[in-house]
């Protein structure tokens, strides 16, 4: 695992966007052999999307041959509802880059057949040969995508009931009223994310400090699903100093020495 600790979220965003652009360019993707990118929603990745849009407009990176799979979507929210993750992705990213519409994949939370929708999603990822790079955020309780505490670490794409902590955290997007927050979502599994060739998880702020501590220094367990990162051969955590504030001095010294060798 690499742990990149930056002063603030803006620096985390610049680092992550540059890394994603570098990986896309390095892969030299084509229509036949596209780069497959897993993407999150949430407030944390907004700066990455802004930076990638800027790079795309300045011809520093192209998404023409990039295929995307989003992590999750609320159940029962129409795609044109501003609270849906469909709306979030088009509004904050897809509408501003040169991506081909047919290359965008987001789970359909309005489907009548959740099991089929989730199975098809997994199949679709496989037809592209798997995900090259999965970008994610993390909840304050350590969840990745909507893999809530006590989700199986080998879970696949499925319907999930949201934990009270997530409903409380996400109520800020629903007029601060927990009654407005959907209680279920479709989400890729921990296993789906961990199958990606590379995984980057971003975290910012003091409320993510416990999750980052567990991810780096806790034992692997299904209460903090982010701890599955410890088993990934190419996992990167990019966090600001506040999110890293509960890491031990040994951990900080070790990871900083790897990123800034003498
Ligand atoms: C939701 C999403 C997660 C995201 C989390 C944190 O629960 N399903 O993918 O990581 O929110 O969001 P934020 O970045 O706004 O803290």
pLDDT in tens, 132-142: 999 999 999 99
Confidence at residue 116, expressed as pLDDT on a 0 to 100 scale: 98
Annotation marks residue 86 as catalytic = no
Residue 213 and residue 243: Cα distance in Å, rounded? 9
* CA 258 and chain centroid, separation: 24
Confidence at residue 43, expressed as pLDDT on a 0 to 100 scale: 96
Instruction: Output the average pLDDT for the chain.
Output: 97
Rg (CA), the chain: 17
| 145 alpha carbon – ligand 1 mean position (Å) | 7
Residue 73 and residue 243: Cα distance in Å, rounded? 25
**pTM of the predicted model, to two decimals?**
0.97
Summarize pLDDT for 173-218 with one digit per residue, the tens. Answer: 999 999 999 999 999 999 999 999 999 999 999 999 999 999 999 9
Residues with CB under 6 A from ligand 1: 40-44, 71-72, 136-139, 145-146, 166, 170
Enter the DSSP assignment of 96.
G
Q: What backbone phi and psi angles, to 5 degrees, belong to 223?
A: -75, -40
Annotation marks residue 141 as catalytic = yes
| 21 alpha carbon – ligand 1 mean position (Å) | 22
Confidence at residue 260, expressed as pLDDT on a 0 to 100 scale: 87
Q: Are 162 and 184 in contact (CB under 8 A)?
A: yes
Mean pLDDT of 117-127: 98
Annotation marks residue 119 as catalytic = no
Catalytic residue (choose from 51, 117, 132, 148)? 148
Residue nearest to ligand 1 atom 11, measured at CA: 42
Annotation marks residue 177 as catalytic = no
Residue 231 and residue 252: Cα distance in Å, rounded? 20
Q: Which of 72, 83, 139 to mutate to test the pocket of ligand 1 (most atoms within 8 A of CB)?
A: 139
Distances, alpha carbon 222 to alpha carbons 147, 229, 244, in Å: 9, 12, 21
Cβ neighbours of 256 (radius 10 Å): 14
Enter the DSSP assignment of 193.
H
Q: Are 121 and 73 in contact (CB under 8 A)?
A: no
Percentage, residues of the chain above pLDDT 70: 100
Q: Are 167 and 143 in contact (CB under 8 A)?
A: no
Confidence at residue 126, expressed as pLDDT on a 0 to 100 scale: 98
């Amino acid at each position: 695992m690499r742990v990149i600790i930056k002063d603030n979220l803006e620096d985390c965003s610049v680092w992550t966007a540059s890394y994603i652009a570098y990986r896309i360019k390095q892969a030299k993707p084509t229509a036949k052999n596209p780069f497959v990118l897993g993407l999150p929603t949430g407030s944390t990745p907004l700066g990455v999307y802004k930076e990638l849009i800027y790079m795309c407009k300045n011809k520093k990176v192209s998404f023409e041959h990039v295929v995307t799979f989003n992590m999750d979507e609320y159940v029962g929210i129409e795609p044109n509802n501003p609270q849906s993750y469909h709306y979030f992705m088009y509004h904050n990213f897809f509408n501003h880059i040169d991506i081909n519409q047919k290359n965008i994949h987001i789970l359909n939370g309005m489907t009548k057949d959740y099991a089929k929708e989730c199975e098809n999603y997994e199949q679709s990822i496989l037809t592209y040969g798997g995900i090259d790079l999965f970008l994610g955020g993390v909840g304050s309780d350590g969840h990745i995508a909507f893999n809530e505490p006590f989700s199986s670490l080998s879970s696949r794409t499925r319907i999930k009931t949201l934990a009270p902590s997530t409903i409380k955290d996400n109520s800020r997007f629903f007029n601060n009223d927990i009654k407005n927050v959907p209680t279920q979502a479709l989400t890729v599994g921990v296993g789906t994310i961990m199958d990606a060739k590379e995984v980057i998880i971003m975290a910012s702020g003091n409320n993510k400090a416990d999750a980052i501590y567990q991810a780096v220094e806790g034992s692997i367990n299904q209460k903090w699903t982010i701890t599955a990162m410890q088993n990934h051969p190419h996992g990167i955590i990019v966090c600001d100093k506040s999110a890293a504030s509960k890491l031990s001095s040994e951990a900080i010294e070790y990871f900083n020495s790897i990123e800034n060798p003498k």
